[in-house]
Structure 1
């Protein structure tokens, strides 16, 4: 099977599109993981701060099953895989506010809970770190699955969250998303009021229009 591409630099992380655009939480999740979940010992081993087997932050066993495309998401190894990042689970409430904030503000938005981190664990060490995203309610997107190198983890540990989001283009994507939404809402409002003046829309339809405009900018789905 084709192994996931390894990301070694911030530029590669940006180009991968992981955690983008707003309101995705993947980049914030990765920042939390690099700074709070792991440390490097004197032998350059990447060790866990919290044993994934204990289930903190809703770490749980990831079964590397065959997806509907006929392939497994990750390479077969003689180690256990553990997954974290589903903000819809109770244990995720222990994650920092900066990881949860966009999801809490956009709970019905499909892309606010897409990303996951999957690690392979050997005793007290983490062998590999992968990032991925859901394609729908069941499968993961193999084309959007990447291995995060230890070097990149170390780079992220040297940054503030603000610096990571700036250097990976997250804020730029957020601004563009906000501008697109404002343009769409303004365009629809202009059309609505033009129709009102022309007598094509009844006055009592005003509230319905505003509610539909907001709801159409959200999508409702269940991410497991």
Structure 2
């Protein structure tokens, strides 16, 4: 593996490093912005002043063991929490949660006398407080190559950065969610149960330990929520798993499915009410969720259905957006309020 002591000399080295991928990481868009809008090439003269905190730059003091010694001060940029001045194409996939969408940073050494950047590094967080030394790279020598690329989309494609629109995973909207399923299917009730009980009102995807009734647990080992085997996962999910096990996330995420009514008696009656006990449409739907044990959070959430008793239907597998989860949770809240009768 390349390390900080071996500067990246070619764009292909940046691609091999894995920096900024997969979606929704923002590091590649951040690097494009830095090269094209934050400095003038080839002199690396600063257009934005790190010492003034422009675009969320702030002084980085504790770099021992991470970066080589220099008398110049180090500054970090890329924390989307700390600024609203970065362009939309850098921040558009930010979820508002401590996840991959705010994972990446650029670190620079800056000479205030000449108003020039010296060394430039890319890195990622290993947890909320520390950077990952094994994924910290000097990119000073490839800045001109990035600068010579005139199209940001071409740069992203060169780095194999794929958004959901460019993969086989599709977002499903609220109308499709509630109109495309036959009455015998149990996916709308189970989706409603998950959004209302397992996701917080602030949509942080933090598991609500006090409100879980056995079918989901903070450590997903319950009878109804079980790890997926590789041959159960659709091609889109396999792509996501390959990113995870390539070491590109905070820690390894596991994928779990929920909804097999043959497997549990702990789901509520409104989920299981239409179950016939046979291998038919009343038990064909599933929810698949990635779970990060390090953060105790759900990651991506998908809905799918079985094409047969063993395999999922890749043409009916959808990633559920945060907006949809909010809409389902809001609908549940409104329904609950309407059922409260005055004294």
TM range (shorter): 0.7 to 0.9
Q: CA deviation at 1:3?
A: 4.8
Residue 298 (structure 2) aligns with: 216
- 1:147 to 1:212, Cα distance in 2 relative to 1, 3 A: same
Structure 2: how far apart are the matches of 1:169 and 1:195? 39
Q: How many residues align?
A: 198
Secondary structure of 2:69's partner?
A: coil
Q: Which consecutive segments of 4 or more residues in structure 1 shift more than 3 A?
A: 181-184, 196-203, 209-215
**Matching residue within 29, 34, 43 for 1:45:** 43
Residue 69 (structure 1) aligns with: none
Residue 84 (structure 1) aligns with: 77
Unaligned segments of structure 2, at least 5 residues: 171-235, 242-255, 273-284, 291-296, 302-343
Normalising by structure 1, what TM-score?
0.76
Contact 2:4–2:136, Cα closer than 8 Å, also in 1: no
Secondary structure of 1:216's partner?
A: strand
Q: CA deviation at 1:156?
A: 1.2
Aligned counterparts, 1:1-224, within 5 A: 3-40=4-41, 44-66=42-64, 72-89=65-82, 92-103=83-94, 106-108=95-97, 110-122=99-111, 123=113, 124-150=115-141, 152-159=142-149, 160-171=151-162, 175=167, 179-180=236-237, 188=257, 192=259, 194-195=260-261, 201-205=267-271, 213=289, 216-218=298-300
| Cα deviation code 1:157-198 (max 9, x no counterpart) | 2221101110011128973777218999xx94xx62x51799
- 1:9 to 1:197, Cα distance in 2 relative to 1, 3 A: closer
Structure 1: how far apart are the matches of 2:132 and 2:145? 26
Secondary structure of 1:98's partner?
A: helix
Q: CA deviation at 1:32?
A: 0.3
- 1:3 to 1:26, Cα distance in 2 relative to 1, 3 A: closer
Contact 2:74–2:109, Cα closer than 8 Å, also in 1: yes
Structure having the higher Rg: 2
After superposition, the CA RMSD in angstroms is 3.4
Q: CA deviation at 1:50?
A: 1.2
- 1:144 to 1:21, Cα distance in 2 relative to 1, 3 A: same
Unaligned segments of structure 1, at least 5 residues: 67-71, 220-224
Secondary structure of 1:171's partner?
A: coil
Contact 1:108–1:218, Cα closer than 8 Å, also in 2: no
- 1:117 to 1:110, Cα distance in 2 relative to 1, 3 A: same
Say which structure is richer in helix. 1
Structure 2: how far apart are the matches of 1:142 and 1:176? 33
| Cα deviation code 1:63-105 (max 9, x no counterpart) | 1344xxxxx210110101111000011xx211110100111xx
- 1:23 to 1:199, Cα distance in 2 relative to 1, 3 A: same
Structure 2: how far apart are the matches of 1:168 and 1:183? 17
